[in-house]
Structure 1
């Protein structure tokens, strides 16, 4: 990565499979091009990760036609995208402490595939000046 390659930040709020897939795909595209990526999980996206619901597409409302295409086209699952991001060494996944508390999930903080926990003060500091931000 060159010093001029800015990082990409993805804020995932929705836990909808398609939105989480899109966010992780954006991060995967960033790391594939040698850019650093940071993924921040809030509310329902955080809940999905804590509950380890990363394998089966569960579209709401149910879309069997899309789920079937995912399988026949061998599109990566959320877990596969996450593994790619981890293997790159260029991406971190951070959970929001406020969302964790709002969900009442503090006992689950050690579960899942989250690299660390941050509050809004840290998030604002880490993402200051980042142009490539995606909110899903």
Structure 2
């Protein structure tokens, strides 16, 4: 019997499009190779998900040249990467309850593509011993 491949954990703090894209691309690559992936959302990344800003590259400062390349090269959007992760059955997206409160966004807790809500105690338990951790 083979041992399961170790999981990958992605901590997304920044809401910058490029950082969120990189984090979801890491998770998508993990699930595509048969590994479990857990994505944890904090602060500005959580805000982006709650507001549903997952479709159009919005670089700050604006980078029309890069945004145009995304479209012409058909680079997947945040939403497309997220759908791949979630539809695989190997990936989950968890929102941080502390960040939700700090943002004053409790009224949005039912919004956005978030599988569940966790605090740091649960996050530390779930990610204990995970070697492949990415912080963006």
- TM-score over 0.5 (shorter chain): yes
- SS for the counterpart of 2:56 is coil
Distance (Å, rounded) in 2 between the aligned partners of 1:32 and 1:4: 14
If the length of structure 1 is used for normalisation, what is the TM-score? 0.98
2:56 corresponds in structure 1 to: 56
Question: Does residue 42 of structure 2 align to residue 42 of structure 1?
Answer: yes
Distance (whole Å) between structure 1 residues aligned to residue 39 and residue 4 of structure 2: 20
- List structure 1 segments (4+ residues) > 2 angstroms apart after TM superposition: none
Q: Which runs of 5+ in 2 are unaligned?
A: none
TM-score between the two structures when normalised by the length of structure 2:
0.98
Secondary structure at the counterpart of residue 134 of structure 2: strand
Give the whole-Å Cα distance in 2 for the aligned partners of 1:28 and 1:84. Answer: 6
Q: Deviations over 1:2-54 (max 9, x none)?
A: 52410000000000000000000000000010000000000000000000000
User: Is residue 2:20 matched to residue 1:3?
Assistant: no
For 1:94 and 1:130, how far apart are their aligned partners in 2?
Answer: 16
The whole-number CA distance in structure 2 between the counterparts of 1:4 and 1:87 is: 19
Determine helix, strand or coil for the equivalent of 2:93.
strand
Task: Please tell me whether residue 125 in structure 1 is matched to residue 131 in structure 2.
Answer: no
Q: In structure 2, what is the Cα distance between the partners aligned to 1:58 and 1:68?
A: 11
The separation in 1 between residues aligned to 2:135 and 2:12, in whole angstroms, is: 6
Segments of 5+ residues of structure 1 without an aligned counterpart are none
How many equivalent pairs are there?
135
Secondary structure of the equivalent of 2:94? strand
The residue that corresponds to 2:20 in the other structure is: 20
Structure 1 range deviating more: 2-11 or 32-41: 2-11
